[in-house]
Amino acid sequence: MNPLKAVFSEAGLFLLLCCIEILLPIFAVESPLNSLVFWSLLGISLFYAIKLLYLVRYHSFIKWVYILLFMFVVYGILYYLYGPIYISPASGERMHKLSYTTTILKSLSPLFPIYYYSKRGKITSEFIQIWIIPLFVVAVIFYFDQMQAAMLRHLMDDSVTNNGGYYIASLIPFAMFLSQKRLIQYVYLLTCLIFVIYSMKRGATVFAGLMLLVYFNNSLLGISIKKKLGFLVSFSVLLFGLYYFISEYMMENLYFLERIQDTLDGDTSGRDSLYDDFWEYFLYRATPLQQLLGGGANYTLTVSNNYAHNDWIEILVNQGILGIFVFFMYWKSFFRTAFRTNLDKTCSIVIKMIFIGYFAKTMFSMSYTDYNIMVNLCLGYCISRIDTTKSLTI
């Protein structure tokens, strides 16, 4: 595929707009253009969400994305109309009431145009290969911007963790589209891992590590012994390079050693006490109606002045048992999509990687607000490749 066609096609322009939306706040703080690009992106995503309902037979997983998103939007609207204004636990600033809804829409809704373009043949594996480098550059710029912001917050110490590590980790599934160029694939994976480790985010490291395990396990299936040996040798070189980096880094960075020791000691950064607060609220202080339907969007901030840092508990408090049911059905559909459908090897591994990584993320972070354009591109394209007439049932 011609690179210019990949960039200036309808699908390419949508990805370009997504990249601009990520980069604009970095280079043009508080610019009116930021809002214009953001709302344009959201409008395009919602337009294709509606168009998809009428024009394309879509996969059952997409149906549950619709249902999950509809639930969040309904709660977000009610919160905007009747909810209180909260103070952000991270920044200490007043939170805009609309941000609950727009954050989730920004995360989940780009899947619809990506899926639509893919079903129409406008996004192909060659298209994705062309876009890997631009998206990698965007993720690296975002990563260093997050690093700089974190360093400014910790001028008096070295205890800097970089949330941009999750952005880099989300690039890992792209490696499957480089499977015909093994050396480039391994260098790409090693580079992503180094960035993730350097971020000091234990969650991002677990997130990346699980996706790599899926990659390693599935890459050995169905290939000859000779190719298996070649893969193991190449992967051993990758691990050796990673080990060398970690060894050198540990010698120079005491905070890195401290983070590893905290992990080994079971330190959860205060999450245990948060979980206790929320369980105590739900079991003993919530009314039957709140247990069934939840307290409303962002209600965890009312209960404990903090988010739950666990999607299941967050939804249980905010949307109640109803929300847990919808979220469970969403993940059940995701599981069936990843493990119970007929797919080519590349797409099968990509969906498994994203499923395992993001399901693990539900346990310690906000997964449903963190589907960036990199993940949506991989997921939307790969799900579009499923022949729904051959889907297997559990």
The 3 state secondary structure assigned to the chain is CCHHHHHHCHHHHHHHHHHHHHHHHHHCCCCHHHHHHHHHHHHHHHHHHHHHHHHCCCCHHHHHHHHHHHHHHHHHHHHHHHCCCCECCCCCCECCCCHHHHHHHHHHCCHHHHHHHHHCCCCCHHHHHHHHHHHHHHHHHHHHHHHHHHHHHCCCCCCCCCCHHHHHHCCHHHHHHHCCCHHHHHHHHHHHHHHHHHCCCHHHHHHHHHHHHHHHHHHCCCCCHHHHHHHHHHHHHHHHHHHHHHHHHHHHCHHHHHHHHHHHCCCCCCHHHHHHHHHHHHHHHCCHHHHHHCCCCCHHHHHHCCCCCCHHHHHHHHHHHHHHHHHHHHHHHHHHHHHCCCCCHHHHHHHHHHHHHHHHHCCCCCHHHCCCHHHHHHHHHHHHCCCHHHCCCC
Q: Look at the chain and report how many structural domains it folds into.
A: 1
And the tokens for 35?
A: 């809002």
Question: 94 - beta bridge partners?
Answer: 87
Sign of the four-CA dihedral 225, 227, 233, 239: negative
Residue 393 inside a domain? The answer is: no
Residue 228 or residue 131, greater confidence: 131
Residue type, position 18, single letter: C
At residue 248, the pLDDT reads 60
At residue 345, the pLDDT reads 82
And the tokens for 87?
A: 């103070």
At residue 127, the pLDDT reads 95
At residue 89, the pLDDT reads 78
Residue type, position 255, single letter: Y
Residue 96 inside a domain? The answer is: yes
Task: Specify burial of residue 45 (Cβ count, 10 A radius: 0-12, 13-18, 19+).
Answer: buried
pLDDT at 262 over 80: no
At residue 201, the pLDDT reads 80
Residues whose CB is less than 8 angstroms from the CB of residue 69 and which lie 6 or more positions away in sequence, other chains included: 49, 104, 105, 108, 109
Task: Specify burial of residue 273 (Cβ count, 10 A radius: 0-12, 13-18, 19+).
Answer: exposed
> Residue 71 — very low, low, confident or very high, per pLDDT cuts 50/70/90?
very high
CB contact at 8 A, 385 and 347: yes
At residue 316, the pLDDT reads 96
Which range is most confident: 114-118, 145-149, 387-391? 114-118
Closest by CA position to 190, among listed 131, 241, 226 = 241
> For 32-41, 153-162, 353-362, which range has the lowest pLDDT when averaged over its residues?
153-162
Mean pLDDT score, 365-385: 92
Residue 394 inside a domain? The answer is: no
**For the chain, percent of residues with pLDDT exceeding 70:** 81
**Domain span including residue 183:** 1-388
Average pLDDT across the chain, whole number = 84
At residue 390, the pLDDT reads 44
Residue 199 inside a domain? The answer is: yes
And the tokens for 182?
A: 């093994």
196-250 pLDDT tens trace:
888 878 788 888 889 988 888 776 666 667 666 766 676 676 666 666 666 565 5
Query: How far is residue 38's CA from residue 193's CA, in Å, rounded to a whole number?
Result: 30
Q: Count other Cβ atoms within 10 Å, centred on residue 149.
A: 14
Query: How far is residue 78's CA from residue 125's CA, in Å, rounded to a whole number?
Result: 41
Residues whose CB is less than 8 angstroms from the CB of residue 213 and which lie 6 or more positions away in sequence, other chains included: 356
Residue 248 inside a domain? The answer is: yes
At residue 102, the pLDDT reads 95
Residue 331 inside a domain? The answer is: yes
12-51 pLDDT tens trace:
999 999 999 999 988 876 778 888 999 999 999 999 999 9
Query: How far is residue 80's CA from residue 109's CA, in Å, rounded to a whole number?
Result: 19
> Residue 124 — very low, low, confident or very high, per pLDDT cuts 50/70/90?
very high
Residue 277 inside a domain? The answer is: yes
Residue 255 inside a domain? The answer is: yes
Closest by CA position to 37, among listed 25, 53, 23, 20 = 20
